[in-house]
Amino acid sequence: EDQVTQSPEALRLQEGESSSLNCSYTVSGLRGLFWYRQDPGKGPEFLFTLYSAGEEKEKERLKATLTKKESFLHITAPKPEDSATYLCAVQARTGGFKTIFGAGTRLFVKA
Amino acid sequence: DAMVIQNPRYQVTQFGKPVTLSCSQTLNHNVMYWYQQKSSQAPKLLFHYYDKDFNNEADTPDNFQSRRPNTSFCFLDIRSPGLGDAAMYLCATSTSGVSTDTQYFGPGTRLTVL
């Protein structure tokens, strides 16, 4: 069964304290892995798509990487405005349009 | 700006009283999705449309129905809401292609069932 597990469930950082969020996945042939940011009471906002192991993408203080079993979202020198829930999701080659989401990591950055 | 719009943002209904949530998009995407997200949980796909073709997830209750009258609009009907249906309902769109289908989400509708 395809599934996505994110860790930790919650992460508290001081401003400027870099860290990484983990997304472990099991899927029958990965078609793509997605990272989204979700603020309280809002819809997820697209960040990155990764297609194959070894791929990396960056946006401001965020960098996403992908291996055959997991993805990391690295946050460098976070600011309080980076506080949000970060969701990971996967699509399988044989799954059509179905996207399976993890439960997310809630990130709190304190000034 | 091209976007996904959901109305209403907040909906309160009574137990068993039918409710309809709406989603519209200006992205001209051919795929539209409905997700249910409960507090601190992953978004759960209910169904999606690929153009006019409706695709229901196997574990989506019969209580949930959907309509897509045209490319821009999609509706979620909950025929007899129960207390367990209280959640955030998210609409998303994507455009099918040879690569993965990045989904773009609306702001969601928060449903309360009294």
Select from A32, A43, A51 the Cβ nearest to the Cβ of B105. Answer: A43
Backbone angles phi, psi at B83, to 5 degrees: -60, -30
User: CB–CB of B100 and A87 under 8 A?
Assistant: no
According to the model, what pLDDT value does residue B98 have? 52
User: CB–CB of B108 and A104 under 8 A?
Assistant: no
Residue A41 near chain B (CB below 8 Å): yes
Q: Is the pLDDT of residue B99 over 70?
A: no
Q: What is the pLDDT of residues A33-90, one digit of tens each?
A: 999 999 998 999 999 999 999 999 999 999 999 999 999 999 999 999 999 999 999 9
Give the Cα separation of B84 and B54 in Å (integer).
24
Strands (E), chain A: 3-7, 10-14, 19-26, 30-38, 45-50, 56-59, 62-66, 70-75, 84-92, 99-101, 105-110
Residue of A nearest to B97 (CA): A97
Give the Cα separation of A110 and A16 in Å (integer).
9
User: CB–CB of A91 and B101 under 8 A?
Assistant: yes
